[in-house]
Amino acid sequence: MIHARITGTGSCLPGDPVSNLALVARGVDTSDEWIVERTGIRTRHLASAGTATSDLALEASRMAIAAAKLAPADIDLIIVATSTPDFIFPSTACLLQAKLGIKGGAAFDVQAVCTGFIYALATADAMIKTGMHKKALVVGAEVFSRILDWRDRGTCVLFGDGAGAVVLEASDKPGIRASSLHADGSQAGILCVPGQVAGGVVSGDPFLRMDGQAVFKLAVKVLDEVARETAAKANLPLEKIDWLIPHQANVRILNSTAKKLGLPTDHLIVTVDRHGNTSAASIPLALDHAIRAGRVKPGHQVMLEGVGGGFTWGAVLVEM
Ligand code: UT7
């Protein structure tokens, strides 16, 4: 049987960290106390005007490819999860492929908002397991700052820019043990950017809109359910999960999820305090930070799980 293993990770956070007080100084009607108490976020990174999603993806990808001891030319599949692509088309994955100086392999984007990386990883896993591809680059990358309404304090303090990447390779040893993907399109309105470009103008609303409390409640519910579902598929008792890496949205959501699953918080990876909610980038960013900090190690059982607009949710159980 062909398995798919993560053999390298990388990440990128653009520029210097921007503190909560720096947002107050920019005129956002908020406070460091409110943001820290309600979300756990202390800083985020904001890409400069000339920096695109593919630039952040490139930096994270180069790190991941180097960590896997490969060259870009070895990659035969690129999947980028993003809701803030460089262009309407071509895909950010194609632009990333060109920036890596390679051609010929498959390249496409996945749009599942904050669950995008989980969708992309599960897709790459399936494509490797069928023998169709051998060495995949799976990336979550965003410039969410471009779709924030800085007059809406209920959303603009929460998000940031960044990228994370993994190399996934065919192997005879397990790797990705189980995946679960879900969506409920009837909940589209609770987290959306309800605008479009038509006839040369933006119609509708080009900014992120969110019903924070509705998202919070649904997130805690589905993150619990999907981690249980995915562990059960692999016959892994929950207490054998070495690390839980949920989408980094809000420290209260992370802690509630770990608590509901009966996992001590020292099995929970938290990086949201440093980069805010980077949507599709947050899970590979947190994974890369945890590997480079020496916390996640070879052989560990790692539950990656995401939730976000769509509404979408999913999990991937990985043996590192
Ligand atoms: O990838 C998934 C993305 N989304 C999420 O993860 C968001 C999930 N939701 C949340 O994390 C929380 O709902 C929030 C952090 C967004 C909000 O926390 P909350 O505890 O649900 O606060 P709230 O919306 O009920 O607002 C409480 C108060 C309100 O004031 P009043 O009406 O009580 O006077 C808000 O106007 O806090 C006020 N408020 C703020 N105050 C200072 C809202 N945003 C801010 C702010 N600074 N940035």
Give the predicted TM-score (pTM) of the model.
0.98
Question: Which CATH number is 150's domain given?
Answer: 3.40.47.10
* Residue 240 one-letter amino acid: K
Q: Mark whether 144 and 215 lie in a shared domain.
A: no
Q: What percent of the chain has pLDDT over 90?
A: 100
Q: What pLDDT does 197 receive? A: 92
Which residue lies with its CA nearest to atom 43 of ligand 1?
Answer: 154
Q: What pLDDT does 236 receive? A: 98
Domain that includes residue 94, residue range: 3-173
Domain's final residue, options 135, 155, 173: 173
Q: Mark whether 162 and 222 lie in a shared domain.
A: no
255 is catalytic: no
Which band of pLDDT confidence, cut at 50, 70 and 90, is reported for residue 199?
very high
d(CA 251, CA 58): 28
**Probe target for ligand 1 pocket from 144, 216, 257, with the most ligand atoms within 8 Å of CB:** 216
Question: Which ligand 1 atom minimizes the distance to the CA of 249?
Answer: 6
**Pocket of ligand 1 contains residue 38 by CB under 6 Å:** yes
**Pocket of ligand 1 contains residue 30 by CB under 6 Å:** yes
Q: Taken in order 151, 141, 307, 106, is the CA torsion positive or negative?
A: positive
d(CA 283, CA 179): 15
Q: Mark whether 38 and 164 lie in a shared domain.
A: yes
pLDDT digits (tens, 9 = 90+) for 137-186: 999 999 999 999 999 999 999 999 999 999 999 999 999 999 999 999 99
Cα 213 to ligand 1 centroid, rounded to whole Å: 7
List of residues 6+ apart from 171 with CB closer than 8 A:
2, 3, 4, 5
Q: Mark whether 125 and 150 lie in a shared domain.
A: yes
Would you say 46 and 14 are in contact if contact means Cβ atoms under 8 Å apart?
A: yes
Question: Which ligand 1 atom minimizes the distance to the CA of 215?
Answer: 8
pLDDT digits (tens, 9 = 90+) for 100-150: 999 999 999 999 999 999 999 999 999 999 999 999 999 999 999 999 999
d(CA 223, CA 314): 8
d(CA 97, CA 202): 29
Q: Work out the mean pLDDT of the chain and round it to a whole number.
A: 97
Q: Mark whether 207 and 190 lie in a shared domain.
A: yes
CA angle 214, 22, 210 (to 5 degrees): 15
Residue corresponding to tokens 């921007």: 18
Q: Mark whether 198 and 166 lie in a shared domain.
A: no
**Pocket of ligand 1 contains residue 277 by CB under 6 Å:** yes
Q: Mark whether 223 and 273 lie in a shared domain.
A: yes
pLDDT digits (tens, 9 = 90+) for 17-49: 999 999 999 999 999 999 999 999 999 999 999
